[in-house]
A and B are shown apart, each in its own frame.
Chain A
Amino acid sequence: MPEHGSPGDGTIARLHREEHTRLLATLVRRFGDLDLAEDVAQEAMEAALRTWPESGVPDEPLAWLITTAKRRALDRVRRDAVYAQRLALLHIEQGARHAPAADQVTVDGPDGDRIPDDRLTMLLGCCHPAIAPADRVMLMLRFVGGLTTAEVAAALLVPVPTMQARITRAKRRIRGAGIPLTVPDDPEVLAARLPLVLTAVSLVFTEGYAATSGEAPLRAELTAEAIRLARILHRSLPGESEPAGLLALLLLTEARAPARTDAAGAPVALEDQDRGRWARDLIAEGTALAERAAVAGAGRFAVQAAIAAVHAEAATFAGTDWAQIVALYDLLLRLDPGPVVRMNRAVAVGRRDGFAEGLALLDELGDEPELVRHHPFHLARALTLDRLGRTDEARVAYVRALELVDNAGERRFIRRRMDGEATGGDAPA
């Protein structure tokens, strides 16, 4: 089983990542077997690298790769009785279950190829409820993101052998427990599965967003990786609100990246960010998508995208439409009544109605188990108390936040605020 460990394999994977992941997804769909698909996809990529430099890149590279891989798979099945038996079994059991056209999306590639993009199948398969949430993220990065095992390990801060073992275990589980890597034929199952995929993609983004300078650069690239995955999801389900909302949210958040940290790598609060450095193209795309998502529905990600869009539209922090933000948090609260959403709403209320009102709402949440050890909560209280001139109480809250934070950049941010260096703003954005 190649894990892309040998030198050069990683290069193949990255050079042709788009083709490779689409190829893999198509083969998994065709064979229903991840191991076989991985093996022959790899062999086809290697064959391409050997022959294309001489014969030239074919008009439809993906079609070439699929044909080559399928031929290899047939060879393998003819040679290997165990494989043949397993495949026959899979085909009898799952043959009727592939709805051929309904869930296929054809993506016009740069070459105008009309080959269906099967990666939605893989995204849904990787996020099966019978797979542990942490493993969903890892499998998505490995098989839809096309990262090598070593890259996934670096990105998720896990030692390579551990990651290798986890991937092997997850694959064994997929095969052993009969977890289908197909698009659920039942619309209710699909509807139940989609939120798991959305959450996993947003987790990929969060991992990258939390990366601090000095960590593996690959980790910071996870935000771009999450956007890639969200794009695949949105393109595969263009009429659905939540995939559009997720993509919008990620783009609008990523747009602030150039202004989010200072020269030393410490976070800059939303209030103090130089909005001129926000990426205008990402904001334009994100805002348009957020509007489309809002028209199609009002799910968790669509509403969060709308909140991000309101921030993006404000020319200055003071000019933010806080009334609208509070209204959107009210909407979000109905979908996700958790304490973290209530906390964010309290901060927005503080901006709309005054810090005393905001503090009163924050203090109502003081006993929430989910917030007791959540440093943003203590930081939000500290900043609000500071604004109200209640310096001693603010200090206690700052110290509590410092005890809980595990990110060097954020620790610096909190220290600075505690020492009253900056003008004062909300939590790092």
Chain B
Amino acid sequence: MIVASNLTKRYPGGYEAVRDVSFDISAGQMVLIGGHSGAGKTTLVKLIASIERPTSGSLVVNGQNLAALRRSAIPYVRRHFGLIFQDQKLLFDRSALDNVLLPLQIAGLSRRDAVRRAQAALDKVGLLAREKANPIALSGGEQQRLAIARAVVNRPTVLLADEPTANLDVDSARDILDLFADFNRVGVTVVVATHDQSWIERCHPNVLRLDHGRLV
């Protein structure tokens, strides 16, 4: 499903965030990308999500080599992923429901179908009662759950998260972990970059550990 071969990302100035990394993630797996700060976890997530382009090597997702992809094809590849960030990247000028509607509008769903699906996603993360609330009025844990609802509403094949529990208290982090485990149980591939060890204890994922950009 996600196959990396000799993947390298070098930034202008020569800094290599990811060096010669190879791995193979099968469909339905839960994979944790671990490592200390600056190990290259976030860069690897960005490479998988096509937010960054590899300097060399290949990265094949669902049979498509992302390194050789035309720029215009990238948005369609991103739609296979549900992306979740540490800072959630929510839009604070609209309601929780409208935040979740955005991927469906991009996909071109009719308003009625989109609202139905967005409400189902909000229900799944326990936020249906707060669909009209502005994200600013939500707690950190709720904001992260809202970000998850936005990530899963388009029924992605891969959930890709970067430090999704970093800023959360223990209880909220556990809720998020459970949500990821739930989605993984129904066949969604989950790739999480985190240094939170509770993931290993609770979800027993496969672990890719990075150190200074290299897989160890």
Do A and B bind? no
Residues of B within 8 A of A (CB): none
Residues of A within 8 A of B (CB): none
